[in-house]
Amino acid sequence: MPAELEGLHEECGIFGVWGHSDAARLTYFGLHALQHRGQEGAGIVVNNNGVLKGHRGLGLLTQVFSDESSLAKLPGDKAIGHVRYATSGSSSIDNIQPFLFNFYSGQCALAHNGNLTNCPSLKRELEDQGAIFHSNSDTEVLMHLIRRSKAPTFIDRLKDALNQVHGGFAYLLMTEDAMIGALDPNGFRPLSIGRMTNGAYVLASETCALETVGASFVRDIKPGEIVIVNDEGYHIERYTDNTQQAICSMEFIYFARPDSNIYGVNVHSARKRMGKRLAQEAPVDADMVIGVPNSSLSAASGYSEEMHLPNEMGLIKNQYVARTFIQPTQELREQGVRMKLSAVHGVVAGKRVCIVDDSIVRGTTSRRIVTMLREAGAAEVHVRIASPPLRFPCYYGIDIQRTSELIAAHKSVDEIRDYLGADSLAYLSIDGLVESVGLHDDAPYGGLCVAYFNGDYPTSLGDYEQQFLDSLSEEERARVASFAKLSSSYTGNEFTQYPNSSKKVD
Amino acid sequence: MPAELEGLHEECGIFGVWGHSDAARLTYFGLHALQHRGQEGAGIVVNNNGVLKGHRGLGLLTQVFSDESSLAKLPGDKAIGHVRYATSGSSSIDNIQPFLFNFYSGQCALAHNGNLTNCPSLKRELEDQGAIFHSNSDTEVLMHLIRRSKAPTFIDRLKDALNQVHGGFAYLLMTEDAMIGALDPNGFRPLSIGRMTNGAYVLASETCALETVGASFVRDIKPGEIVIVNDEGYHIERYTDNTQQAICSMEFIYFARPDSNIYGVNVHSARKRMGKRLAQEAPVDADMVIGVPNSSLSAASGYSEEMHLPNEMGLIKNQYVARTFIQPTQELREQGVRMKLSAVHGVVAGKRVCIVDDSIVRGTTSRRIVTMLREAGAAEVHVRIASPPLRFPCYYGIDIQRTSELIAAHKSVDEIRDYLGADSLAYLSIDGLVESVGLHDDAPYGGLCVAYFNGDYPTSLGDYEQQFLDSLSEEERARVASFAKLSSSYTGNEFTQYPNSSKKVD
Amino acid sequence: MPAELEGLHEECGIFGVWGHSDAARLTYFGLHALQHRGQEGAGIVVNNNGVLKGHRGLGLLTQVFSDESSLAKLPGDKAIGHVRYATSGSSSIDNIQPFLFNFYSGQCALAHNGNLTNCPSLKRELEDQGAIFHSNSDTEVLMHLIRRSKAPTFIDRLKDALNQVHGGFAYLLMTEDAMIGALDPNGFRPLSIGRMTNGAYVLASETCALETVGASFVRDIKPGEIVIVNDEGYHIERYTDNTQQAICSMEFIYFARPDSNIYGVNVHSARKRMGKRLAQEAPVDADMVIGVPNSSLSAASGYSEEMHLPNEMGLIKNQYVARTFIQPTQELREQGVRMKLSAVHGVVAGKRVCIVDDSIVRGTTSRRIVTMLREAGAAEVHVRIASPPLRFPCYYGIDIQRTSELIAAHKSVDEIRDYLGADSLAYLSIDGLVESVGLHDDAPYGGLCVAYFNGDYPTSLGDYEQQFLDSLSEEERARVASFAKLSSSYTGNEFTQYPNSSKKVD
Amino acid sequence: MPAELEGLHEECGIFGVWGHSDAARLTYFGLHALQHRGQEGAGIVVNNNGVLKGHRGLGLLTQVFSDESSLAKLPGDKAIGHVRYATSGSSSIDNIQPFLFNFYSGQCALAHNGNLTNCPSLKRELEDQGAIFHSNSDTEVLMHLIRRSKAPTFIDRLKDALNQVHGGFAYLLMTEDAMIGALDPNGFRPLSIGRMTNGAYVLASETCALETVGASFVRDIKPGEIVIVNDEGYHIERYTDNTQQAICSMEFIYFARPDSNIYGVNVHSARKRMGKRLAQEAPVDADMVIGVPNSSLSAASGYSEEMHLPNEMGLIKNQYVARTFIQPTQELREQGVRMKLSAVHGVVAGKRVCIVDDSIVRGTTSRRIVTMLREAGAAEVHVRIASPPLRFPCYYGIDIQRTSELIAAHKSVDEIRDYLGADSLAYLSIDGLVESVGLHDDAPYGGLCVAYFNGDYPTSLGDYEQQFLDSLSEEERARVASFAKLSSSYTGNEFTQYPNSSKKVD
């Protein structure tokens, strides 16, 4: 939750089904299982005998589809849906997906999870050619590229377009006669195929959505792949061989639901291993372990079991915290009013406690937690973080855009410990993370992206390169330079070549 | 959560403050911490220099007070508030509290948590005298009794009225010059006083609300007590000496927030002790312990620690489950669509699991959980319940009104195990419960009400006696009779005398 | 419209039906025809085989019953409904009618059009006896009086209660087995019975609602009468013989719809006669007549025909003016921004115009109209008012509560003309009004109430007497005294005797 | 109103202001005066120091801008706005204007009143070039044409685009540094410039909006003209000399507000002249004249004055009729339930009445009116229509798309009279219409478009030609052919040449 509290957001979840009589309702439940990936907007487009129709809106899925009548208007046996996290200032209905395009030659719907590194330059080129954009999302660009391609078939035009967009993306398309999923050459975002008992195929950002709708797991989509689902079943094609797996490690650390499996690895179990490994790397002398609810409970459980310490509920999260627009005033905050998280006096008073958290972004919430625990009577407060320090922005779909927001970009672990007011502080190592996840891919870092920890971005940064460099202070630039030296990919042209190293997968 | 899933509901939460410049906002945060006690309606009445004004509505607190403007209309330095659970069919705005009464002689607001056993007969008597009721809540009766009393002062009239209402109640009143709390002679519902750093006094159903607003705990209100807060501070009076503590044990088992203390006992710690005691009473041979989220996590933690088994996240609850009006169809349910709770295949496959839950109501959810775990590959599924079997209705404020809804009213533990499809099933004993809570009051059951477990109601059932007897099948009546023999309070006139036994407290 | 623009409001409309399978929908359409009598709230209560159920809300009927589902929840073949004008500050849902009362002995619904002169003292007495009121409307009092009556039957108790309330009222009640209408002893408000082709009976404030639902007129309810409709048909009873007809003349002048008939007199035709009579009493030398839309168009038509002058559309009202919360700023007003009413330059430029209006309340709108017409180029602007000057408050159901709001209470006709900036100004005489309406009842003023014109109130003012006297300035008191001398009813005890003169009707 | 009742709709109103500190509010009031031109959606875009921002929504202006806060978000001293009539099925927010386009090279907003005859073929061509449309309105096409033009300046590109779109249009654009209005070569829709006292310029569809905001009339925009307003003032340019005035005669007959002037002719006065001319062409022997409210009141007044007959309110329209979603069932309609229009029994009983209406579309409402009047007791019912029979669709912005909807396309006047059940029926002649309006332009029909009366379309029908011919029955084709013979413009290629005749204006 601290990640959540401090504004670390995933940018989307996608779900689609082909061949179920109640497709919109099924998509509703699939998206419901993915709601944690985006709470600011949602939409569903159905395909009813080749006619596409949609509904979308701002807010939680339950607000956008507030009653049966909202589903009743979406008959059909194929559907795709989307839940969206909107960066502040762009929360316009125009940006809510799936986008539905009506051409005289037919209809097409499009949804997207990720971030393109060359979107601004693509948009500029397209506008110079007369293109008009109606949203400020990266998603729309793909459709313009498809429409301008001169390739013979829709799939060929799509491949053409996919080779022009760079960065992190998982696309989901619905045409009149097919549902298509596509993943970027690094596979930054997860995307899986499942199959229902009636034979319907589903595509989903996480396997938890497969389980929610009663579908069995078929296979993960791999970097550079397209999956095409139609009445004949599904088949896989590739639009590039220039791939290298680098799945976002924050999916394992924080974003994904604990019951999801990514590339065969259960997220809860990975987190529990991170907690155990953290206990080995940084043991503590304390009376109890306390997980920060809810996202750190798995890691805390692993840590406590490895340490043979009781795992206690010393912090409690208000389960009704969402969607309030009423906040404590500064005066009330100073008087101790706390809405979201409370320390449990009856549990921690007089004890030496060790809190386990998934990550630290700005540090303000962690600091508040330490203070709360001390005020509730804790004798000592130790902090253990089940991931490495966050030091760099992400340009592939997580909302960490400025190093100024990241306390570890500016402070050493000792300085952070002092800022938090903790008795001790330790992070998990990058190696510990990679081994705890245990993907065993032979790409760098076992197939994980760890760029926000060490600056070793798997791709060129494209249009963001200058912004990234500009956002660094003099001191930070030096820090980046030193990392660059340590990182084999940080050679002179590391931001301009794409991709700088690759291997064939599959 | 199963209790939640199967319709076990608390009936309300109350909060009040006297002497804080931002009273409505503070009450908002206090109620926010009590939202788990009632999600169907909320309201706040402020007292601004002797003028009372309120706002109330249906839904969650965040829906009723949806933005700053809703608080801005409620200036004043004293306030009381209420969150309500509405039984189905009565979800009318007319029933949302606090009720605000405008008399030519002044104003008064009233909120209530509990259920009166003689409400129907009181209402009938009052209507015969010309009284007109505008809600179907028990709350309004008290005001009619106050208004008809000929006693000289408001407090005297209130005491007069309190001696006429029977059952379970915690009342909160705001008059032009005082805030008053009152508890029934058995203290079925918790009610506590806290004090803020600026000297303001707060009253709240649970101590978690005190902590949320930064107030320190002063004292619990005890059975038969009235607390009067005004500009001079607070003082306690009694309206009866005929008291006997019998606090609802479901508060410890399920309702109260884990960070609350009730009569000095921390709820999380009590639940953890229940889990440990359950492990002693009914150990298991399994690979892991799984708590049913969220309400059983404390008990599961105690059980696993006592058993030295790993505590795993083998069941996951969708955090966004609230407030949807869209449900899976029967067909989708049969296809495996599940909205609220999923089993985690990656954790349980091939393992012998032991789930720990707080209670079983109808058994349908527990059965679903067992099935889900088996479908997810669990080799064995053992079930441990950290409370005794629920066998009887509650007439003091919990929504268990018919024995037909209670599986343990009709089936033996072995029959329930078979119904659930579990490999083994065990409940905590009543003695285990009483000792785990550890109130050590010298009233029966250590000062706990355990009537829903054994039929030993601490008071006459009043107007509900006949309904209770009628609701029992022939077989159930026999069962009650056999319990009655075991219970010293079940003598020939146990339903008509009130109270059938008592002791002076304090 | 000026009356409307300046805040002259009727206080309600009522409609009921007994014996039509689609009773709620029929009541919806009946209320729709009465919407002009109250736009701030609406409600319908149905009686479905003896079970009463209702829906009510703030706003226009189309807002309260916004779609088919809102009617679908109200099945039944009997219904009563209400549209309400709420005085500012009391626009709470608690005041929206019909009120629905649930007693253990049965249900009853109640709606009301009018104002009681002894409501405050009745409420005080009832509260002293323990009664609790939940609204601040006059309506609720009647139900308390009914409930406290010891008379043997419901009708007897109702008569008992009706003899205790004084002032202006048309009540509509729905019990489990009858629909009942009741009118005050002066018949201040209209109330009519109609019959549908299927035999169903309807009761409505105005005959326009009968025509809207396809019912034929049966008869008007007369002062002091009760009409009881049940499965046997309808019959009339009397609760008092102490009656004297004094129907509100503003119904004819402004409130009622032009297509309604009141006591057999068509409202449009009466207004046209007022315009013709005004032309005889106060002719004009002008080029055209302009009616102020919409309420004065009938009178303007009569005036122009009698004067043989063209009747032109020199003023236009925006048909979409309702319900905006956005107003011109003072600066915009000074720049000439006008939302509601515009002068038509193309029609009036260079012409001598005579505007005809129904009444003048504060004079501010009339002044604005004169100014607009001059700015649009009118060479002369003459003003003719088709009713006498408004000088006194109404206590029987029209929202004129203070003489300070009435320009004619303080200024002579010449002074008003100067204030308006008109070239000439004339009002209709009281005699002219009485003869134009032409009711020919042998009560004073032909059976019209003209108290707001001359202070000759048909009843004691009860609780309002002191407020009325206090609201008058020294000069106004003198004015009242002089009127009092001219009026036979203004003797020493004119405010305390009730009624001061009476005749048997029927 | 019958036109309104039977679905004759204008397609939009536009308003803009340049140079007023409260531009959004001013635009709100301007649009409010144009609300009769479109009630299904509204929007405003402001220009605040070169930054454009907008708000739009479905419904009436008062629903889209429901409170002050909706305007507060739109600061700036320049704005354009739009009210829209949406054809059924396309009432999506995506179609609500003004459209706001964000290019990397700047922003531009666009609003439109009218209909293009070559929109489908333009859209197809543009899509073939890769263009993506986001609405199904004709409006968006213009922006694509502007963006694809290679002309050097924005105005040049706009002129380029305007020469490619055919049909009826009044465009309003807001760029960062100018507000631009543009009118089609026939001037089908009105558009005027006004000036406020502070020097700000406004553009509006009708002069009534100028008066509402206190602006004085400057000049009408003429066919083929562009008006450019910027900080230097305004100037006029032309994008074509190939023009011929043909303003929509339905603006004079029905759409425009009576207080508007079009090309210097007051609409109310024109309608009154139509009524007088109709009295000369088709006098009646009756007791009274009754105008059908509200749109026919001017014509009825002219007719009655010319005939020296009293003008009575024998029909009444419910002023609250708008926005209801609850309709009488068929059964209720048969029982006589009427929501919108009632006959006034007290006025018409026993009389020979002559109703005057503006036009007949399907005839169903006129038939209902005749029936209602007879049921209300009228002895004779004569019908006079103050315009010629409607026989052909409009392709320039009025929603008459099929001849099957037009009773006069299929029936003679005698047949229509029989259908209506009237004692007599007469229409105004085309000559009578042209002379009553009195524009005196030397274009055909004095500069009026009368195509819906005689099939003499001023332009080619473009993409609609085939649809038009297909929509005609065999018999109708013959009818068109006979009209074509009478019309000089109906030569062999009358649908393909554009424009078939022209003259220089100004």
DSSP state of A35: G
D160 token code pair:
């380029």
Judging by DSSP bridges, how do beta strands B78-84 and B12-18 pair with one another?
Answer: antiparallel
Of residues C87 and A388, which shows the higher confidence score? Answer: A388
* Closest in A25, A60, A268 to B344, CB measured: A268
Q: Per-residue pLDDT tens for A294-323?
A: 889 999 999 999 999 999 999 998 877 655
Residues 51-80 of D with CB under 8 A from C: 60-62, 65-68, 71
Distance of alpha carbon C253 from alpha carbon C292, whole angstroms: 13
Is C477 within 8 Å of chain B by CB?
Answer: no
What is the longest distance spanned by two Cα atoms in chain A? 73
* pLDDT confidence of residue D460: 87
Q: Per-residue pLDDT tens for A248-286?
A: 999 999 999 999 999 999 999 999 999 999 999 999 999
* Closest in A101, A120, A132 to D101, CB measured: A132
Distance of alpha carbon B41 from alpha carbon B23, whole angstroms: 20
Q: Per-residue pLDDT tens for A456-473?
A: 899 988 888 887 877 777
**A236 in Cβ contact with A226 (< 8 Å):** yes
- Among B99, B100, B20, B96, smallest CA distance to B63 is for B96
B218 token code pair:
């002063």
- Just list the catalytic residues of D: 12
Distance of alpha carbon D394 from alpha carbon D402, whole angstroms: 9
- Among C340, C336, C290, C339, smallest CA distance to C317 is for C340
* pLDDT confidence of residue D505: 27
pLDDT in tens, chain D (506 residues): 445 445 566 679 999 999 999 999 999 999 999 999 988 899 999 999 999 999 999 988 988 998 888 899 999 999 999 999 865 445 678 889 999 999 988 999 999 998 899 999 999 999 999 999 988 778 899 999 999 999 999 999 999 999 999 999 999 999 999 999 999 999 999 999 999 999 999 999 999 999 999 999 999 999 999 999 999 999 999 999 999 999 999 999 999 999 999 999 999 999 999 999 999 999 999 999 999 988 899 999 999 999 999 999 999 988 776 556 777 888 888 777 777 888 998 899 999 999 999 999 999 889 999 999 999 999 999 999 999 999 999 989 887 777 778 999 889 999 999 999 999 999 999 999 999 999 988 899 999 999 999 988 999 888 888 878 777 777 767 766 655 433 333 333 333 322 322 222 22
Which residues touch D482 (CB under 8 Å, ≥6 apart)? none
Interface test with B, best of A210, A320, A329 (most B CBs within 10 A): A320
Is A341 within 8 Å of chain D by CB?
Answer: no
Mean pLDDT calculated for residue range C155-159:
97
A79: which strand partners? A17, A46
Q: What is the DSSP string of C98-152?
A: SEEEEETTEEEEEEEEEEESSHHHHHHHHHHTT----SSSSHHHHHHHHHH---S
Q: What is the CA radius of gyration of chain A?
A: 23
* Closest in A22, A29, A321 to B339, CB measured: A29
- Among D143, D128, D103, smallest CA distance to A127 is for D103
In a 13 Å sphere around the CA of B189, the CA atoms on its Cβ side amount to 30
Distance from CA of D148 to the nearest CA of A (A): 5
**D205 in Cβ contact with D211 (< 8 Å):** no
D91 token code pair:
């009432």
Distance of alpha carbon B266 from alpha carbon B274, whole angstroms: 12
Distance of alpha carbon B267 from alpha carbon B261, whole angstroms: 6
Q: Domain D269-318+338-445: give its CATH code.
A: 3.40.50.2020
Is D124 within 8 Å of chain A by CB?
Answer: yes
Residue of B nearest to A197 (CA): B335
Residue D100 CB coordination number (10 Å): 19
Residue D350: exposed, middle, or buried by beta-carbon count in 10 A (0-12, 13-18, 19+)? Answer: exposed
Tell me, which fold does domain C265-317+339-486 have in CATH?
Answer: Rossmann fold (3.40.50)
Residues 364-423 of B with CB under 8 A from C: none
DSSP state of D178: -
Return the number of CB contacts < 8 Å for C and D. Answer: 214
C289 token code pair:
């007549």
Mean pLDDT in chain C?
Answer: 88
Least confident span in B326-340, C106-120, C163-177, C295-309: B326-340
Mean pLDDT in chain D?
Answer: 88
Can you list the residues of chain B whose pLDDT is less than 70?
1-10, 86-91, 321-324, 476-477, 479-506
Is C121 within 8 Å of chain D by CB?
Answer: no
* pLDDT confidence of residue C39: 87
Annotated active-site residue A394? The verdict is no
Please state whether the peptide bond connecting residue A499 to the residue before it is cis, i.e. omega within 30 degrees of 0: yes
Which residues touch C404 (CB under 8 Å, ≥6 apart)? C410, C471
A291 token code pair:
């997980």
In a 13 Å sphere around the CA of D305, the CA atoms on its Cβ side amount to 23
How much of chain C exceeds pLDDT 90, in percent?
71
Is C148 within 8 Å of chain B by CB?
Answer: yes
* Closest in D26, D268, D321 to C313, CB measured: D268
- Among B159, B163, B153, B260, smallest CA distance to B206 is for B260
Judging by DSSP bridges, how do beta strands C51-58 and C78-84 pair with one another?
Answer: unpaired
* pLDDT confidence of residue C321: 64
Which residues touch D87 (CB under 8 Å, ≥6 apart)? D399
A193: which strand partners? A203, A219
Is B103 within 8 Å of chain C by CB?
Answer: yes
* pLDDT confidence of residue B493: 30
pLDDT at C497 over 60: no
Q: Where does D37-103 show beta strands of DSSP type E?
A: 41-48, 51-58, 78-84, 99-103
* pLDDT confidence of residue A329: 84
Q: What is the dihedral of CA A468, A469, A471, A472, to 10 degrees?
A: 130
- Among A308, A1, A343, smallest CA distance to B268 is for A343
Distance of alpha carbon A435 from alpha carbon A274, whole angstroms: 9
Distance of alpha carbon C27 from alpha carbon C43, whole angstroms: 10
Q: Where does B117-211 show beta strands of DSSP type E?
A: 167-175, 179-183, 192-195, 201-204
H helices of D23-118, where? 23-33, 61-64, 68-72
* pLDDT confidence of residue A498: 30
DSSP state of A76: B
The single-letter code of the amino acid at B383 is V
Is A216 within 8 Å of chain B by CB?
Answer: no
Distance of alpha carbon D497 from alpha carbon D189, whole angstroms: 22
Q: Per-residue pLDDT tens for A165-211?
A: 999 999 999 999 999 999 999 999 999 999 999 999 999 999 999 99
Q: Where does A49-151 show beta strands of DSSP type E?
A: 51-58, 78-84, 99-103, 106-116
Per-residue b/e over C476-486, b at no fewer than 16 CB within 10 Å?
beebbeebbee
Q: What is the dihedral of CA C305, C307, C308, C313, to 10 degrees?
A: -70
Give helix A297-307 / helix A267-281 axis angle, nearest 10°.
40
Judging by DSSP bridges, how do beta strands A179-183 and A167-175 pair with one another?
Answer: antiparallel
- Domain ranges for chain B, please list them: 2-243, 267-318+335-438
* pLDDT confidence of residue A455: 87
Q: What is the 3-state secondary structure (H, E, C) of C35-48?
A: HHHCCCEEEEEEEE
Tell me, which fold does domain C2-243 have in CATH?
Answer: Glutamine Phosphoribosylpyrophosphate, subunit 1, domain 1 (3.60.20)
Instruction: Tell me which residue has tokens 């029926």.
Output: D425
Give helix B297-307 / helix B267-281 axis angle, nearest 10°.
40
Q: Which residues of D touch C312 (CB under 8 A)?
A: 268, 272, 301
Return the number of CB contacts < 8 Å for B and C. Answer: 49
Q: Which residues of C touch D214 (CB under 8 A)?
A: 332, 335-338
Q: How much of chain D is in helix, strand and coil states, percent to nearest 5?
A: 35, 25, 40
Chains that touch A (3 or more CB pairs under 8 A): B, D
Q: How many residues does chain D have?
A: 506
Q: Is B163 strand, coil or helix?
A: coil
Q: Is D252 strand, coil or helix?
A: helix
Q: What is the DSSP string of C241-298?
A: S-B---EEHHIIIIIS-TT-EETTEEHHHHHHHHHHHHHHHS----SEEEEPTTTTHH
Residue C415: exposed, middle, or buried by beta-carbon count in 10 A (0-12, 13-18, 19+)? Answer: middle
* Closest in D101, D103, D132 to A144, CB measured: D132
Cα distances (Å, whole numbers) of residue B203 to A32, B16, B398, D111, D357: 38, 5, 21, 59, 71
C100: which strand partners? C109
Mean pLDDT calculated for residue range C340-352:
91
- Just list the catalytic residues of B: 12
Interface test with C, best of D1, D28, D320, D321 (most C CBs within 10 A): D320
Q: Per-residue pLDDT tens for A356-392?
A: 999 999 998 899 999 999 999 999 999 999 999 999 9
CATH assignment of B267-318+335-438, among 3.20.20.70, 3.10.580.10, 1.25.40.10, 3.40.50.2020:
3.40.50.2020
pLDDT at C305 over 50: yes
Residue B164 CB coordination number (10 Å): 16
Domain A267-318+331-442, CATH 2.30.38.10 — does that match? Answer: no
- Write down the ipTM of this complex: 0.84
* pLDDT confidence of residue C121: 93
pLDDT at A485 over 80: no
* pLDDT confidence of residue B340: 83
Which residues touch A492 (CB under 8 Å, ≥6 apart)? none
Termini Cα distance of chain B: 36
Distance from CA of A481 to the nearest CA of B (A): 41
